[in-house]
Each structure stands twice: as C-alpha cells, then as structure tokens.
Structure 1
Amino acid sequence: MQVEIQLDNLGMKFGQIQIFSELNATLKSGGLIGLLGPNGAGKSTLIKILTTLVKPTSGDVRFDGQSIVRKPGRMRQVLGYLPQQVPFYPNLTADEYLAYIANIKGMSHRDVQTQIHALLEKVNLENTGNKQLKDFSGGMQQRIGIAATLLNDPLVIIADEPSTGLDPEERVALRNLLAELARERLVIISTHIVSDIEAIADDLLILNQGHFMYHGSPNELLRRSDGYVWEYPMSERGQVSNDEASLVSLVQGIDGINVRQIAAQVGQSDAHLVVPTLEEAYIGALNGVIPL
C-alpha cells in the first residue's frame, strides 16, 4: 500500500522570525527520505508539523489527500515518531515501558506482548529483564525509543536525529532497520549528519535558509557535483590553496595526507578531480560552490 505526504506552500513563523516559507514537496512510500540541513535550518520544526505536534502558520500538509493540519487524527493513527530526546519513565523496565506506550496507542492486549517481544529482539534488548530504564546507557535508551516507534506497525515513520547516543555498530544496525522498513512504508529521517542516510536514502530534501534548496535523488546531487572536488598532496608546510569559495578537508592517503577541496577551480598544479562523496556534494551545495 503506497502512501503519500504532500507539502503545499508550507510556512512557519515564531513571532517575527520566519523559519521557512512556501515549502512544496511530494513524499512517497517505498524508499527512505532523508531530510538534511544545518543546525537551525528548521528541520525539527518541520518534523513537528509533520507529526501534528504543532500547526503551521501558513499552507497545508496532506496525508493521502486529507489535511493533517485540520484533521490530525488520520496521521496519528498510522504514525511512528522517534523524537531527538526519547521520553521515558526511569523506574520502568523495557517491557513495562513498551506496554505503556502500546496502551497509549490503543493496541489490543492480545497483540501487545507478541509485538513487544519481537521488537525487543529487533533492537537487541530482549535480555534486559528487570533492569530499569534509568540504568540503561544512552544508546540503549535510544533503542527503546526505536522499539516504541515501531509498535503497532506504523505506515509512516519519522525520526528526528535518530543516531543520537548510538555507537558506530548501533548506527549501522539502525540504518539497516530503517532502510528495510522503508520498502513498504513512508520513512523520513531528519539529520545534519550525511552518513546517517548516505547509503540508504532514495530521496533527499535539503532545507536551508527557509526553503528546500534541493529535492531529488542522491545520485543526481552527486552528478551535479562532478567536476567540483579536487585532491592533491598537502605541502610539507601544511599549507593548502586559498582559492576563493572553496572548502577543504584532509584525508589520509597511502603516501601521506591529501587535501580534498571543493571548488570550481584550484590553483594547485598537482591537483586532480576525484569522485565526490555525498557529504562533499551536500557541503558544496550548502555553501553555494556547487550550483543547484
């Protein structure tokens, strides 16, 4: 079953401050959607609108043709939401917490324990027993939040900075899980960390300075970035080119440290073009080096 979210001239103001305006996009299930943008771009505000926690000051959001601004109930019935900070009750066990969330979601008692057991296994927390949430590590608490998000098999899953507190192994496991879920659901991940969605996103939205500066596939963004990333050895004095409108990163190469520079041209005679990474394409686009 394919589902769709439509953003129609969406705008949000706090007092006299315009967070974003005239956002338009169509988001469909069947592939993971990455919402990228620098801190302060308005990603979390947009997520709160999509999850019906706040109402926009202008425009509309429609889920399968129905306004969730005027009638939020339909979205709430099918939504699994993972906020940046997972709310939890410190004295509950993992099983008790998920049972509490299941009750809030109105799940039938017959299905609750079966789902809880399966989800605890999925997030590798099935052996926590009577351990209370206050004694969980930050990563374990985040995984409990993920399990709570997946209760009642939601059609729409929205995660706001989901890798917070996770170690590298947990981050990979979370990415794989969300990519698997996105095959049959509408899954949105909001993040400012490109590696969170680099290998799994089918669709990218880049929110910056109040508007979507890019909406399309990662491959198309990489194609537009071709010819803008250069690499050359760092000089013995550790100096790099001072070309205007360029961005620099350092990488360890076989023969020493190399400079990777995002620019239309560089002044280094030994520089050569290299295949851009998605992070370089994103940073170049944000800073206006790569034209969109």
Structure 2
Amino acid sequence: MSKTFLELTQLGMRYPTAKGEFVALQNVNFTIKQGEFISLIGHSGCGKSTVLDLIAGLQIPTDGGVIVGKREVSGPGPDRAVVFQNHALLPWLSVYQNVELAFKQVNQGGSKQALRSGVMHYLDLVQMSHAADKRPDEISGGMKQRVGIARALAMKPKVLLMDEPFGALDALTRAHLQDALMAIQAELKNTVIMITHDVDEAVLLSDRIVMMTNGPAATIGEVVDVELAKPRNRIELANDDTYQLLRQQVLRFLYEKQRKVAPITSAENQKVA
C-alpha cells in the first residue's frame, strides 16, 4: 500500500423536500490508500450509493468534498470508472465494440493494431476474448458483467467504483467473478471501492470494510481491517478463525443497527398494503 490517494472530508448530502431539508449523509471522513480494496456495507438507505455517486462525480456534495490524487472532484472523469449492478452494455454493439468505445476515450490517435491489441487485452483479463464478436443478447448475465468490468478497466481508471456488481447473479457465477476480480486487482493494483450487501463477499475481497449507519443522516459507523493474507482462497478461508471472526464482527454491527430501525406501526402497515 502507498500513501493516501482518496480523501472524503466532512462529506455530506442534503436534499430539499416539501417538508424541509432531508439529510441523507453527514460527516463522512475517510482516507483510502492507492491500491486498496474497500467495501461499503450497510442496510438499504444508509447512503452507500450516495457515497459512490459523490466519488464518481455523478452528484456534487452539499457539504465537504472528495479529493482524488490531490484534485477535488467536481464532476465525472476518466480517472474514475463505475461498474453498475446492471451491466448497461449498448445492445447494438458487439462485446468488442462496447469495450472499444471506452478504450478510445483515453487512447486517441493510436494505430488500428494498437487499438485492437488494447481492447483484446482487457477482454482477456475478464476471459471474454472468445466472445468478442457477440452482441449482449447472445451472452449470459455473468458474461455481460465481465464485459462491463472490461469496459470500465479499458478507461485505465485510478479508481474503480462498483455498485453491487454481482448482486443479480447466481451463486456460482458470483464466485467465479469474485475470483476474477481478485486476480485483476492483484495484477493492475488499482483502487477499488465496492458496494455490497454480502458479508462473505466483503470479507473475501476487501482490505477494509466500511460499515455505514442507518439513514437519515447516515455516516460511517465502524471500519474493519481485513488482515488476511493475499491471494485469498475461499475454500481455505471457510475454516480460518480470523475470517470467521471478521465475518461475525460485520454481522454483529449490521444486526445491532437493524435492531435500532423503528418498527412499522399498524397505521403505516395499512398504508404500505
């Protein structure tokens, strides 16, 4: 790990509503080193996606700010790429063309040979070079997500932002992509910030796990250092005492926060119904 690369300082987000100001996020302070893998975890409505949007520059904070590589974030940029739960591939383009579109954003003026070599490099990273000529509707959901990751990586981002990238996949496909992501991050050594609801996924992949308190006015509740040697093997970790303790620590935090959520009253229940 190197020096601090990304800083969240007094980060907050407030929205005007008909009933007054709604505070979604407040007083988020956190620093991330270059090459770290950070997971954000918490209950729905705890501000995870808001934090990711603010780092990506998709929203501008009402309080505090985000600094990436000594520059304040004021909007989207090629130094930050986002992988969403929905792959968001362009359906009329082939797998190759989807990645090519992103690659061209940061590689202007190169030869056709250099272009193809670069695009195929990122498809190779996610083991999708065999499907380069297929369109999104001709490949599986897991394959589409691999292409989405390749497209993000093709922009050579300093920070890879992932919003529950494996949430819609079956357990086996999710496991394969988790392993692929670990291998890619070990090779590229880029900074990764990932939202997840999966405790096992967070412990398996992360260097640190940031646990968010419930909203409104959500903030960082606890940060867990995942002191497990890399590379990690999910089979070996299943019987690892440290892994189990880390898993229990995260589950305990989430359970305690869940208990603090106000129960739905009978009147509110009738409205929901």
Distance 1:276 1:131, change over 3 A: closer
Between the aligned partners of 2:156 and 2:132, the Cα distance in structure 1 is: 24
Alignment map for 1:1-292 (pairs within 5 Å):
4-15=5-16, 16-69=21-74, 72=75, 76-110=77-111, 111-183=114-186, 184-209=189-214, 210-219=218-227, 276-288=244-256
Distance 1:93 1:13, change over 3 A: same
Instruction: Return the index of the structure with the highest Cα Rg.
Output: 1
Distance 1:91 1:182, change over 3 A: closer
Give the structure with the higher percent helix.
2
Indicate the SS of the match to 1:288: helix
Distance 1:59 1:20, change over 3 A: same
Indicate the SS of the match to 1:89: coil
Whether contact under 8 Å (1:3, 1:186) holds in the other structure is no
Whether contact under 8 Å (2:125, 2:184) holds in the other structure is no
Give the structure with the higher percent strand.
1
Indicate the SS of the match to 1:199: helix
Whether contact under 8 Å (1:205, 1:214) holds in the other structure is yes
Distance 1:32 1:57, change over 3 A: same
Identity %: 24
Q: Give the Å deviation of 1:108.
A: 4.4
| Matched residue type, 2:53 | K
Higher relative contact order (CA 8 A, sep 6+): 2
Distance 1:3 1:113, change over 3 A: farther
Between the aligned partners of 2:132 and 2:69, the Cα distance in structure 1 is: 41
Q: Give the Å deviation of 1:106.
A: 4.7
Indicate the SS of the match to 1:95: helix
Unaligned runs of at least 5 residues, structure 1:
221-274
Give the TM-score normalised by the residue count of structure 1. 0.71
- Deviation readout 1:222-242 (Å, 9 max, x if unpaired): xxxxxxxxxxxxxxxxxxxxx
Whether contact under 8 Å (2:158, 2:190) holds in the other structure is yes
| Matched residue type, 2:23 | Q
| Matched residue type, 1:284 | R
- Deviation readout 1:239-283 (Å, 9 max, x if unpaired): xxxxxxxxxxxxxxxxxxxxxxxxxxxxxxxxxxxx945443222
Indicate the SS of the match to 2:46: coil
Distance 1:144 1:68, change over 3 A: same
| Matched residue type, 2:30 | A
Q: What root-mean-square deviation, in Å, do the aligned CA atoms of Structure 1 and Structure 2 show?
A: 2.6
